[in-house]
Each structure stands twice: as C-alpha cells, then as structure tokens.
Amino acid sequence: MSHTAHIPSHRKPRRRASKSALRAGVAGGVLSTVAVAGAAGPAQAEPVTQTIEMPTITSGLATAVAASAQATQQVALDLEAQAHEDAAAQDAAKAAKKAKAEAVRKAEAEKKAEAAAKAKAEAEAKERAERASRTAARTTLSAPSSSSSGSSATASAPSSAPSTSSNATGSAASIVAFAKAQVGDAYVSGGTGPNAWDCSGLVQAAYRSVGIDLPRVSQAQSTAGTQVSLSNLQPGDILYWGAAGSAYHVAIYVGGGQFVGAQNSSTGTVQRSMDYDRPTGAVRVL
C-alpha cells in the first residue's frame, strides 16, 4: 500500500453538466439584457416636463372630522338624555315612596276614625239598650199592694211632684241629705267623687257618710240588704234597675216618690220622680 493512500483528496467534486449548463444560460441571458438596455438607453434619455397632480385629501379629512365631531356631540346628547332620564326615574321613585307613606298614614287615620265611630255607635247602642231594658222592666213590676192603713198606702205611692221633705230621720236622713247635695255633679264612669260620680259610686259614698261600707258595683249593691217592695219604700233605700245580683244601675230613694242618682254623662247627677224611670226593685240596708 502506498503512503498516500490514507490522505483524503482535496480536489472539488465535479459539478454535474446540467447545473453548469443552467448557470451558463442564466448568465448569458442577463448579459444579453444588459447589452440591449445599454444600446437603447441613450435614445430614451429625454427631460421630464409633465407635472403630475397628486390627489388632495383635504375635503375628505374635513368630512371625516365633521362626522367625528357630530358623532361625539350625539354621544354627549345621548349621555345627557340618559342622565335626565335617570334623574327623572329617581324623582319618580321618591315621589312614589312619599305617596305610599302618605297613603299608609291616611289609611291608619281612617282606621282609627272608623274604630272611634264604631266605639261611639256601640256606646250609643248600649245606652239605648239600657233604656229599652228599663222600659221593659217596668212592665214586670208588681202592682202596688193594698194596705190596711190608708195613710201607709198614701205614703208609699209614687208621686210625680217633688217632695219638699223626705220625712227621713237618723242615718237615713243623713244619706238622703248627702245624695241631694250632689245633684248637679257630673257623671263619669268609675267616678267616686267628690264632684263626679257614677251610679254605684254615689250610693257607696252616701252610705259611707254614715259609716256603712257597701260593695263598689251595682250588681253587688242590689243584694246588699233586704229586698223590699217598691210600694213599701223608705228614704235611704237603694233602688236598682235590672235583676237583683245583675243590676246595671242604682240610685237612692229620697222619699216622696223621688230618687237621686248619677244617671249618665248627658244628665249628670239628678233628682227625678220614679215615674221618670221606674226601677226594678229595691233593698233596705238600714
């Protein structure tokens, strides 16, 4: 083996014939083109004297700017209109809230007025019922029984004329005097004096003036003593309207067919004939 057998060769590889031909053709074409251009060049070198007008964009730009300004103005108007609408909506909401509160207040006031009117009507109906009950009670009264003593029958018979003297003595006279002294005082439900009374408050106070304690209410006072006939009354006896034990009104018999009682808020404390409002019964405590 030769000593140069392992030394690589530095010769370039052969180019293929096709590539060499292609490159030669391209180079030849370029040179031909340059030659032609050089031959034709001097004949076309003339000075340029024509002015070319460039298109102006001023009108288009102004139109675009105007359109942009108009759009901006429209946006501002839309925002302003929206702001007005929002403010109007807020004002409407406030007005609706205020109107609702006013409606609620009026409804409550009307409700209170209706309740007051109803209470007044019930009170008036109760008063009429009491009067009707008193009238009905009169029909259940026993006729005055005959007495063996003509003078006794005359003394016990009711009289429509006021009596100047009750012929009362002792504690009965004091009770009668106390009751008569209160005539003209006001009637107040639950009143116990000294210038306003209800019916049982006046009776209780009259008896307390002589040291006798009676129950506070009419129902109990109508059974506080011995039941007596209306034809055999004595000054100081307690008259009652309604049934014994469930009476709704009481007064004090003062003699001569008269009684003193705290009747109602319209009349106050009065002295009346028993014929004015006939009682149902009577009890004697003394």
pLDDT value of residue 47: 59
Q: How far apart are CA 212 and CA 49, in angstroms?
A: 149
Angstrom distance (rounded) from CA 214 to CA 220: 8
Cα(9)–Cα(241) distance, rounded to whole angstroms?
A: 157
Express each pLDDT in 204-216 by its tens digit: 999 999 999 999 9
- Ordered mean pLDDT values, 10 residues apiece, the chain (286 residues): 53 56 54 49 54 59 79 87 88 88 86 80 68 52 36 35 57 96 96 94 96 96 96 97 95 96 95 94 95
| Residue 138: predicted pLDDT | 45
Cα 137 from Cα 251, distance rounded (Å): 16
This model's pTM is above 0.75: no
> Can you give the pLDDT at residue 245?
94
In sequence order, what are the residues at sequence separation of 6 or more whose Cβ sits closer than 8 angstroms to the Cβ of residue 134? 241, 249, 277, 278
